[in-house]
Amino acid sequence: MAPTHTWQWHTVADAAGLEDAPPRCSPQPAQAWCNFTLWHPAELPGRCDTAVGTLRKEAPPGRTAASAGRTPWSDANPAAYRTEISGGGRRLRLKQFLYDWAFPAADHPCLWGSETRAFPIGAGRVVWLGTDYLGHSAASARMSRTTVELSVLEGEFADEELVDLYRALRPADPAAPARIVRTAFSELSYWARHTTDMVSVPTGLYFFHRRDRLHEGDWVPTAELASFLAAQDLPAGLSGFASDSAVVFTGPQGARELEAIYTNAAGGGELRLVLQRSGAGRMPYPPEREKHPARTQKTQVRGRSVDLAYVDPAVGPFDAVWQDPALGVEGKLLSSAGQGMDVEFVLGCLDTLLTCSPLAGRGAAL
C-alpha cells in the first residue's frame, strides 16, 4: 500500500476472483484487505487456547458459485474478518466489519430488540452485552469505526470475561486506526463506492422508512464538503466532532433526505444528522418508536420541541427528532455510544444545530 495519510486497502478486481470460502488469514496481513480497523485479542478467555481468523475480501457486487460467507440479502461483497475462539468446551466468534449500509441502529444492531447493558472498555468506548437474533449471549462495540460483534456459540462465558476480551483487543496494525479514522466515510464505504442493493434494517430508536433498493445516494466529493455544508447553513463541527461526509438520498417516490456525518478523530465516535423538507422524506413526524428497549423524553432546545430516545443517559446512543415549522424542515440526530456522550453532550449538539437555518439558502440540496 502506498504511504499516505489516509487509508488504502487491497480489493479483488472481480467477484469471480474470490476464493470458494473465506481463507484463513492472521490479523496483521488481513488488515491490508480491510476498509476498517482490524482488532485481535492480546489475551484469550480462560481455558480458551485457539483463535482462528478468516478473511472475507472485498470485491465488486456479484455472485458466483463461491458464495460461502457472503450475505444472502444482497450481491454486495464487502470485507469482513471472523475470529473463532475456542477451548475447554467453550466457543465464541468475533466478526469485524465497517457497518456502512445504514446508521448502526442503537449502536449495537446485532443486539436489536434485546435488553442491553453498557460497560467501559477504555479510550472512551463501551461494549454492549445482550442477546443476538439467534438467541445467543452476545456483545457489540464500535471501535475506531469498526463494528466488533461477538456471539457465544458453545458453553457459557461470564459477562466479565466478555468485557475483558474487548478490553484486550489491540489493532493488528498500530498505524491503521489513525489513518482509517482520518479517511472520509464516503471513501471507505462500500455502498458509497458501488451500486448495489441496500440492506433493509432499522436505523435508530425512532422509526425511519427503510432504504432497501439499489443505492440511491449522491455522495458529496470530499474536496467539496465544506462548501456544500456552508450552502446548507450547516456547521463544520459539533462539540468536537468534525464534518466528515455528506449525501443526499432519493427514494423511489422522490422522497429526499440529506445526511451529514460528523466524526471524532480521537476515538472514532459518530454523529449522523438527517434532514428533510417537512413531510417530503421518509422520516415520520411526529416520530414513532422502534421496538428496541429505550427511554424517551421531550425537551425544548432553542424554542423547538425535541423528542429524545436513548438506551443509557450517560453513554447513549441517542436519537433526537424535531421539527422547525418556520423553515419547513424536520431533523434527526443520531449518535454512537461512548463515555462523555451523555444527554448534555447531545443537547449541546442540538443547540448548535438549531442556531442554524438548515436548507434555507440558495444552495440548499433539498
Which of residues 146, 180, 214 is at a domain's end?
Answer: 180
| DSSP-derived 3-state class of residue 350 | helix
Residue 8, domain member (yes or no)? no
Clarify whether residues 43 and 140 are in a common domain: yes
| Residues in contact with 355: Cβ distance below 8 Å, sequence separation at least 6, in sequence order | 302
* Spatial CA neighbour of 116 closest among 296, 352, 317: 317
* Spatial CA neighbour of 313 closest among 286, 288, 341: 341
Clarify whether residues 92 and 219 are in a common domain: no
Residue 37, domain member (yes or no)? yes
Clarify whether residues 141 and 237 are in a common domain: no
Residue 360, domain member (yes or no)? no
Clarify whether residues 94 and 243 are in a common domain: no
Residue 6, domain member (yes or no)? no
Clarify whether residues 226 and 333 are in a common domain: yes
Clarify whether residues 176 and 238 are in a common domain: no
User: What domain count does the chain have?
Assistant: 2
Residue 186, domain member (yes or no)? no
Distance CA 254, CA 282 (A): 10
Clarify whether residues 334 and 242 are in a common domain: yes
* pTM of this structure: 0.96
Clarify whether residues 208 and 302 are in a common domain: yes
pLDDT at position 69: 64
Clarify whether residues 162 and 81 are in a common domain: yes
Residue 226, domain member (yes or no)? yes
Q: What is the full per-residue pLDDT of the chain (366 aa) written as tens digits? A: 444 589 999 999 999 999 989 999 999 999 999 999 999 999 999 999 999 999 999 999 998 765 666 777 778 999 999 999 999 999 999 999 999 999 999 999 999 999 999 999 999 999 999 999 999 999 999 999 999 999 999 999 999 999 999 999 999 999 999 999 999 999 999 999 998 888 889 999 999 988 877 778 999 999 999 999 999 999 999 999 999 999 999 988 888 999 999 999 877 799 999 999 999 999 999 999 999 999 999 999 999 999 999 999 999 999 999 999 999 999 999 999 999 999 999 999 999 999 999 998 767 899
pLDDT at position 4: 58
Which of residues 124, 146, 180 is at a domain's end?
Answer: 180
Residue 228, domain member (yes or no)? yes
Residue 224, domain member (yes or no)? yes
Clarify whether residues 131 and 259 are in a common domain: no
Q: What's the grid cell of residue 333? A: 440526530
Residue 289 is classified by DSSP as B
Clarify whether residues 170 and 210 are in a common domain: no
Which of residues 150, 180, 210 is at a domain's end?
Answer: 180
Domain that holds residue 21: 15-180
Distance CA 203, CA 200 (A): 9
Clarify whether residues 259 and 176 are in a common domain: no
